[in-house]
Amino acid sequence: MIPLPISTDRALVLFTDLDGTLIDYHTYDTRESEGALRRLVDRSVPLVFCSSKTFTEQSDLQGQLGMRQPFIFENGSAVAIPDGFFPKKMYTAARREGGYDVVVFAHADAVSLGTALEQIGGLKGYKYASDAELSAATGLSGDALLRARERWFTETLLSPLNGERFFEVENLLQAMGYSLSRGGRFFTVQSAQVNKGKAVLWMMELFRQSHAQGVVFAAIGDSPNDVPMLEVVDIPFLVQRPDHSWAALEIPHMISIDAIGPSGFDTAVKLLLGK
């Protein structure tokens, strides 16, 4: 286990989930985590978003926070790298979008995934939900609702999946090359061969190539779909859910933070950097 706090002579990279971690689970507010964000900037620690949120949601959030960092979107389906962050010879971009190079890991796009979900039937995702239904389920409205709908590789389900129905849907999706991952509130359907951990490992290699000395990697999450991300870093943190419980995750050396969401994010950064 790497001792905390991390000494100032060591390079550090932090990956983080968003909903229920960096931002408030209900209000999507970032005020409780903004002090931690300033400390990361002062220490020159890259903060890499790693979320089921879309490209447009994450790029918009970066703009609100005055950030320009790589991020992993739609549960590891792709990564976005801002111009000039890494040498372009280090990766092959599938497209460019809003000043970011997009590297794609998913085997299929949202159109193909939608066709698969229609074959299963009885499932409602963001795509076919009305604005009123989606707003009621997520608390989003206006432009934020549009950004949440703009999914390129995945679909988030509003339909409850309990008991045998979960296993039925999971088996049908697996036969078609897709998987289910459980976030804080919803299930996300995605290409079976992608997850947060694989995208994080890919990004970690770019950071290693960019630093002459060894890099320490940490990550902060709150839910089961964060497990692949938390498993591959040196220092994994788990923050509490809104009911003060922790997701039942079994990860070696994981540090459970006794604080909810953004407050837990702030505590984890204090542990990493020192108070």
156 in the same domain as 41: no
Task: Please write the tens of the pLDDT for every residue from 47-60.
Answer: 999 999 999 999 99
Task: Please write the tens of the pLDDT for every residue from 227-253.
Answer: 999 999 999 999 999 999 999 998 989
CATH code of the domain covering residue 116: 3.30.980.20
In angstroms, the CA 236 to CA 216 distance is 11
Structure confidence at residue 163 (pLDDT): 78
pLDDT band at 113 (very low <50, low <70, confident <90, very high): confident
Residue 2 lies in a domain: no
The parent domain of residue 222 ranges over 11-105+195-273
Catalytic residue numbers read 17
258 in the same domain as 137: no
In this structure, the strands spanning 78-82 and 71-73 are antiparallel
DSSP string, 47-64: EEEE-SS-HHHHHHHHHH
Q: Which of 190, 208, 237 is the last residue of a domain?
A: 190
Note whether 127 and 149 are within 8 A (CB): yes
In angstroms, the CA 145 to CA 152 distance is 15
In angstroms, the CA 231 to CA 126 distance is 29
Task: Please write the tens of the pLDDT for every residue from 163-202.
Answer: 788 889 989 999 999 998 877 678 889 999 999 999 999 9
Structure confidence at residue 197 (pLDDT): 97
In angstroms, the CA 235 to CA 217 distance is 6
The pTM score is: 0.92
Residue 92, SS3 per DSSP = coil
Q: What is the mean pLDDT of residues 140-163?
A: 88
Q: What is the mean pLDDT of residues 21-34?
A: 90
Q: What is the DSSP letter of 257?
A: E
The total of other beta-carbon atoms located within 10 Å of residue 174's CB is 12
